Amino acid sequence: MLDIKFICENPEIVKENIKKKFKDDKLPLVDEVIALYKEKKDVNNRANELRANRNKISKQIGVLMAQGKKDEAEATKKLVTEQAQELSALEEKEAELEKQVKIRQMKIPNIVDASVPVGKDDSENVEIKQYGEQTSPDFEIPYHTDIMALFDGIDKEAAGRVAGEGFYYLMGDIARMHSAVTAYARDFMIDKGFIYHIPPFMIRSSVVTGVMSFEEMDAMMYKIEGEDLYLIGTSEHSMIGKFIDTITDEEKLPLTLTSYSPCFRKEKGAHGIEERGIYRIHQFEKQEMIVICKPEDSMAWFDKMWGYSVELFRSLDIPVRTLECCTGDLADLKVKSYDVEAWSPKQKKYFEVCSCSNLGDAQARRLGIRIKGADGKKYLAHTLNNTVVAPPRMLIALIENNLQFDGEYYSIKIPEALRPYMGGNAVIKAKKKYTQR
């Protein structure tokens, strides 16, 4: 959310930023919010004038009564009553104007960093760099759920009966590998100096609207019926919410946090090969990294964070690339964002496994997350988040890039870094022979 004073003083900059994001339908919001804010200031000025007059006139009533000027005193009392009624009406109007200003203010996109490439959508995102050689084994790679089935590792049919489409049971070695990945990611981030958290898995609406745009909220969040609670779509939501209406001493920055949680998402409009299987589901688990820092440090932390993702995936023998999101692919609160994508030997292309974002002071402004400097002055923090790992997508990348085949059975090589979490096993073998379809 942009500072209202910035919007009023720089309307053309704000409008140009909206155009860069190809969201011209939001252009009228700028003039609307400026006009409403001016009206609110005018109402506030009149209300303050009445409050000052009320105190002054009230004193006059006492003086008039003491002087025996009863008629004048009664006339003055009537004036006080009339002004009190006007003040009450103005206070109601001011509250409504404040609400209308904020609604529009929260829909105006954050100012993207100057380095972000201009583009309409994710098709115009820009590849930055590839890490590791793209694998292409000389044997057939089945679809990931078919691979898991050979290990007796997945049951989507039973999950469908229990919960519907978009859910699954993981079992045996595949389930163990899933847990191993999240445990390894947890320890990887702890070794980087991040403080481990297990946060609440539900949050209030005041936190939801503080951490994401209205569009994201509608597309992602599950509402708990009859309560002011939502299931989190990622632990970033409750982790940033932890600092709502807080003031942190500057000397304690940066705050570096890593959190585990299940995640729940509607995943509206998911179609195609990447939406089959377990690419897009309604429930999954995730290890997240969060940083709260001084504004001047946020871009340095942005680079560190996506770098950690590359390092982690490469430690598990998974080729990846970094992709910069263009202006049209940035959510409204984001200043800059990189996706880390893993190589899929099955599809012969990369697919998203991590998303690293710098949100500037947008979340901090919405949630009141402030920093107190050494001089005692307070200012808004910058917030950043990045996926560490999000099985099952991470699991798909791990399986496909470490898959082996002896002509009868598939097996999965366990990367050395993951072996302590898999009972020391260097490989796991399928329970069933592969039959070509």
| 19: Cβ contacts below 8 Å, ≥ 6 apart | 27
> Which pair of structure tokens corresponds to residue 138?
């000389």
Say yes or no to pLDDT of 286 above 90: yes
pLDDT tens digits, one per residue of 206-261: 999 999 887 788 788 999 999 999 999 999 999 999 999 999 999 999 999 999 99
Domain co-membership, 150 together with 84: no
Together in a domain, 358 and 411 = yes
Domain check: are 164 and 52 in the same one?
A: no
Boundary-marking domain end, from 70, 105, 140: 105
Number of domain units in the chain: 2
Q: Which among 289, 292, 261 is positioned nearest to 192, based on CA atoms?
A: 289
Q: Which domain CATH number covers 76?
A: 1.10.287.40
Q: Is residue 232 part of a domain?
A: yes
Q: Nearest Cα to 258, choosing from 183, 180, 196, 179?
A: 196
In a domain, 73, yes or no: yes
Residue 18 structural domain: 4-105
Res 54: pLDDT: 73
Q: Specify whether 69 is located in the same domain as 152.
A: no
Average pLDDT of the segment spanning 188-217: 93
Given a cut of 50, is residue 24 above it in pLDDT? yes
**Final residue in a domain of this structure, among 73, 105, 137:** 105
Please say if the pLDDT value at position 273 is more than 60.
Answer: no
The stretch 351-357 carries a mean pLDDT of 96
Residue 51, pLDDT score: 83
Least confident interval from 36-40, 120-124, 273-277, 312-316 = 273-277
Q: How many other C-beta atoms are found inside a 10 Å radius of the C-beta of residue 386?
A: 26
Cα distance between residue 34 and residue 23, in whole Å: 19
Residues 355 and 410 reside in one and the same domain: yes
301: alpha, beta or left, given left = phi > 0 and alpha = psi -120 to 50?
Answer: alpha
Q: What is the mean pLDDT of residues 269-274?
A: 45
Decide if 436 is inside a domain: no
Q: Are 288 and 201 in contact (CB under 8 A)?
A: no
Backbone angles phi, psi at 55, to 5 degrees: -65, -40
Angle between helix axes 27-66 and 70-105 (nearest 10 degrees) is: 160
- What's the DSSP call for residue 275? G
CATH number at residue 214: 3.30.930.10
Whether residues 243 and 139 share a domain: the answer is yes
Amino acid at 336: K
Q: What are phi and psi of 126, to 5 degrees?
A: -115, 125
Tell whether 217 and 345 lie within a shared domain.
Answer: yes
pLDDT of 268 reads 58
CA distance 253 to 369: 13
Are 344 and 320 contacting, i.e. CB atoms less than 8 angstroms apart?
Answer: no
pLDDT tens by residue, 93-146 = 999 999 999 999 999 999 999 999 999 999 999 999 999 999 889 999 999 999
Long-range contacts of 398-401 (CB under 8 A, 24+ apart): 398/177, 398/181, 398/316, 398/318, 399/144, 399/147, 399/148, 399/177, 400/141, 400/144, 400/147, 400/344, 400/345, 400/346, 401/135, 401/317, 401/318, 401/319, 401/342, 401/343, 401/345
Whether 111 is in a domain gets the answer: no
| Single residue among 105, 135, 165 that ends a domain in this structure | 105
Predicted confidence at residue 62, as pLDDT, reads 62
Q: What is the pLDDT of residue 59?
A: 64
Degrees (nearest 5) of the Cα angle 365, 367, 369? 75
Query: Is 116 inside any structural domain?
Result: no
Q: Based on the domain organization, do 243 and 369 belong to the same domain?
A: yes
Runs of H (alpha helix) within 156-225: 156-163, 172-191, 205-211, 214-220
Residue 255 bridge partners (DSSP): 292
Q: How far apart are CA 246 and CA 368, in angstroms?
A: 7
Residue 114 lies in a domain: no
Domain co-membership, 231 together with 283: yes
Give which of 111, 116, 104 is closest to 6, Cα–Cα.
111
**For 47-97, how does the pLDDT look when each residue is reduced to its tens digit (9 = 90+)?**
988 888 876 776 666 666 767 777 776 677 777 778 888 889 999 999 999
Q: Is 250 helix (H, G, I), strand (E, B) or coil?
A: helix
Least confident residue range of 21-30, 219-228, 286-295: 219-228
Q: 348 and 391, same structural domain?
A: yes
My answer on whether 80 and 134 are in the same domain is no
DSSP 53: H
Distance CA 216, CA 329 (A): 13
Lateral strand order in the sheet of 369-372: 246-249, 369-372, 378-380
Does the pLDDT at position 201 exceed 60? yes
Tokens 């140009």 -> residue: 16
Q: Of all residues in the chain, what percent carry a pLDDT higher than 90? A: 82
Question: How confident is the model at residue 135, as a pLDDT?
Answer: 87
Give the confidence band of 275 by pLDDT, cuts at 50, 70, 90. Answer: low
pLDDT tens, position by position, 306-343: 999 999 999 999 999 999 999 999 999 999 999 999 99
pLDDT band at 272 (very low <50, low <70, confident <90, very high): very low
Question: Measured in whole angstroms, how far is the alpha carbon of residue 371 from the centre of its chain?
Answer: 21
Q: Are 86 and 127 part of one and the same domain?
A: no
Q: Write down the pLDDT at residue 278.
A: 81
Indicate the SS3 state at residue 436.
coil
238 in a domain, yes or no? Answer: yes
Peptide bond connecting 200 to the previous residue in cis, omega within 30 degrees of 0: no
**254 preceded by cis ω (within 30°)?**
yes
Give this prediction's pTM: 0.89
180 within some domain: yes
- What integer pLDDT is reported at residue 405 of this predicted model? 96
